[in-house]
Chains A and B, each alone.
Chain A
């Protein structure tokens, strides 16, 4: 059986500053072609984790594997990564195009049209001689993303990429990331405080809290958890399922391992559901509407501490 391929795999990564743990036993595995949303409060360890992955800081314990390779340095593997961590790496006194030329030269890429392509891709083709020091925050973010895309990386690490962007800019960057992932089969690790925005991009979520990975969940699992439904508790689940199919004429329900049932229809007609169950002799132990946003799900995972 073929072993699963991973772009990144960390095992028990730990890091502390001044005696305080900022990463604790962080183990994650990223598969190719997926967009991973890294969610956490301020100081949860998102940026520290990204810095460890890019080799800017060293973990005290644990190991890191990139593109199936482990060891110190990983220079060849890191050439396949593009990143923008915290704020963009921009030289303020040369133009956006010259910035791209600088980084293109740094990576040894001979292309003569790369600058134009990237500037057009991030919507900065008309900046001309305007210097980045005079750019808005959003324009700087766009240039930072363009820099991170130099060399057509297979793995893109973006720390708060939509920070400072206007609503239209947010949509453009979202569409760009989705397109890159789809067309180039790029793997993206993206952190953002804008959870509704992240919800529209990510295929998987990693929730980090106080340096620990609290939850790694796929979009499907998240939607399952967040999807609004009527949660019905009952001792006779099979009978309940039969009544729902026969009387309510729907199969849009799911029986959970704890024998509760999630009904995804009739959310606006709960009285009718309740009456039908009573008329068919179903005794319920629970009858509540559940379902949440990513924000509320995140808060429930980290234990109710809100600061995202």
Chain B
């Protein structure tokens, strides 16, 4: 399994598609921060908040995350590298876990610019606003707008950003069974984007139903996992990581179940 992870990381490093996706998130993260700053400073109209959200991590990753799954998993079916791995003795479970591990590395890589831009922007102590509801790194950026940070705050900021990466990666884990069963990148991207829109709607519904809110908080889509700030307690950060971990394990278990007896043509 370790060999397969190493091989796939080697392939990822060589992939120009991944470099393009990384460039997109890097540019988008800068645009998100710049627009947020300009809106807060009043240099541009608050109506640009929608555009800032368009370039935010949650929105961008809901498309590029699916694309990443398409490149790594569906692409491997197309290139027959999964066939080769199985034919050379790798078990299907190991294939699923290895592909998932590298997929999560790819997701972390795509979110790295958002973490870096958010860290730098918050560290500068400037003001940021979108004038609209936001999530993830954009929420962190706008909530910590204008705050001067000390060393402990910076450490906590890094922990929160790491937790956010884990939560978003857990959400994107849904792409793994989709990719293994559908094997078509376009379908994976489309279905996951629909899932992300639906999850946002369900988050709204959770506000009106306490029972649903509790159930939904057992998934990385629910709770307040994408609304973390420096005020968020260690318990909530830990809970977000634990929920994400168990959700990912469950999704990977389902994927292994789907793929265990699947015919590979």
Residues of A with Cβ closer than 8 Å to B? 51, 54-58, 73-79, 81-83, 85, 87-94, 98, 101-103, 105-108, 147, 151
Contact = CB atoms under 8 A, between A and B. Distances in A.
B265 A56 contact: yes
Given A57-B263, A105-B3, 4 more contacts: A51-B265, A54-B87, A91-B79, A94-B14
Interface string B116-142: 000000000000000000000000000
Contacts of A98: 14
A147 B83 CA distance: 13
The 4 A-B pairs at the shortest CB distance, nearest first, are namely: A89-B80, A78-B89, A54-B87, A105-B7
Nearest to A77: B89
Nearest to B81: A89
B79 A55 contact: no
With a 10 A CB-CB cut-off, give which of A56, A73, A108 has the most chain B CB atoms.
A56
B87 A93 contact: no
Contacts of A78: 87-89
B97 to A, nearest CB: 14
A107 B16 contact: no
Given A57-B265, A94-B14, A89 B89 contact: no
A92 B86 CA distance: 20
A92 B78 CA distance: 10
Contact of A83 (B3, B10, B87): B87
Interface of B: 3-4, 6-7, 10-11, 14-17, 79-81, 83-91, 261, 263-265
A85 B14 CA distance: 25
A44 B7 CA distance: 36
Chain B, interface SS category? helix
Nearest to A132: B79
A287 to B, nearest CB: 53
Contacts of B81: 89, 91, 102, 106
B79 A107 contact: no
A73 B265 contact: no
Contacts of A76: 89
A81 B11 contact: no
Given A73-B91, A108-B3, A56 B79 contact: no
B91 A107 contact: no
Nearest to A109: B3
